[in-house]
Every structure is written in C-alpha cells, then in structure tokens.
C-alpha cells in the first residue's frame, strides 16, 4: 500500500466527471487499499478517486471507525436537511457551511463485486454526498451557503 498525493483545488482533474468501474480488478483493489491508507494518513472523513488523480467512480467514507468502500456509488434516498460546516482535503484551509440531507442511503458495489446499500446520518450523510459530488467534478465550495472567514476558521480549529 502507498500514500497517494492528494490533488488540490485548481487541478482540472477535480472538475471532470469520473468513469464507472465495469469490473473490480486487482488494480481497483490496490487503489482502494492506497486510498484507505491515504485517508487515514490525512485524517479525513472521506476521499474520492479524483482527489488522488484517478478518474473512476470510487470513494471511501469513514463511518463509525470503519472504512466504507464505494464503487459506482449513487444516492438512492435522502431525507431531512442539515446545514453544517464542511471542509475538503483538496481545498485545505477553507471551510464553508453547506446544506445537505440529514440522512442518505447509498447504493454501491463493494470490493467483492457485490452490490450493497449503506445509510448515514449527520457527518456521514455529508461525507457520502461530498464524495459522490467529487465523482461528478463538483466541490463543496460550489454550493456552500457561506465560506467561513479566516478568523472563524481559526476560532473553529483552535
């Protein structure tokens, strides 16, 4: 496994739409392993393949201490709403208030090639939405209700 370079805002790869994964190959499995290691190293909540320069519909989201690997994920249900602070490993130092569903259910394929569904509330719902947005070339700053000032960020992170 390897820690991959996280692409930063301004790199055109973050604005492109990712291709679906047709078959879970050894290369895809290695990418999932490397993405997990990269996410753990970066101390993030989620990571999408384009954030490491790979244009495939793959993301990983941490949920309750486990890492949920999502191949070709799509949100199939959502309910409620939340307006919370959000950041991104590809947009370091910038935080914004986003409007997201309070709960989402995602359908995806796992590393075993089997389809599954997973639901998340609160921060996990935001993370699922955030990472799936990356797969369509969208950043959280595109639809943020408000970007926090440097003073607000300093107060937030101590």
Q: Is residue 4 part of a domain?
A: no
Q: Which residue has the tokens 């519909």?
A: 57
| Residue 2 domain flag | no
Tell me whether residue 22 is in a domain: yes
Residue 3 included in any domain: no
Cβ–Cβ < 8 Å for 61, 128: yes
Identify the pLDDT of residue 138. Answer: 98
Biggest CA-to-CA distance, the chain: 47
Is pTM beyond 0.75 here?
yes
Range of the domain at 125: 12-157
CA 86 – CA 44 distance, rounded (Å): 11
Query: Do residues 7 and 52 touch, judged by C-beta distance below 8 A?
Result: yes
Residue 133 forms part of a structural domain: yes
**Would you write out the chain's pLDDT as a tens digit for each of its 158 residues?**
799 999 999 999 999 999 999 999 999 999 999 999 999 999 999 999 999 999 999 999 998 889 999 999 999 999 999 999 999 999 998 999 999 999 999 999 999 999 999 999 999 999 999 999 999 999 999 999 999 998 887 887 66
Structural domains in the chain (count): 1
For 35-46, b/e burial (b = at least 16 CB within 10 A) is: bbebbeeeebbb
* Whole-number Å distance between alpha carbons of 47 and 152: 25
Residue 52 belongs to a domain: yes
State the residue for tokens 């199939």. 76
Active site residues: 131
CB atoms < 10 A from the CB of 134, how many? 22
Q: What is the CATH number of the domain that holds 50?
A: 3.90.45.10
Q: Flag whether 41 is in a domain.
A: yes
pLDDT of residue 158: 61
């Amino acid at each position: 496994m390897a820690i991959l370079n996280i692409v930063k805002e301004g790199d055109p790869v973050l604005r492109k739409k990712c291709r679906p994964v047709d078959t879970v190959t050894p290369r895809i499995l290695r990418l999932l392993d490397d993405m997990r290691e990269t996410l753990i190293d970066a101390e993030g909540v989620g990571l999408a393949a384009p954030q490491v320069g790979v244009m495939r519909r793959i993301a990983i989201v941490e949920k309750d201490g486990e890492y949920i690997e999502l191949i070709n994920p799509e949100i199939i249900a959502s309910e409620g709403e939340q307006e919370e602070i959000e950041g991104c490993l590809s947009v370091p130092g910038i935080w914004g208030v986003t409007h997201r569903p309070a709960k989402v259910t995602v359908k995806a394929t796992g590393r075993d090639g089997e389809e599954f569904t997973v639901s998340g509330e609160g921060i996990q719902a935001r993370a699922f939405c955030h990472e799936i947005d990356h797969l369509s070339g969208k950043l959280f700053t595109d639809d943020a209700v408000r970007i926090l000032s440097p003073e607000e960020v300093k107060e937030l992170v101590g």
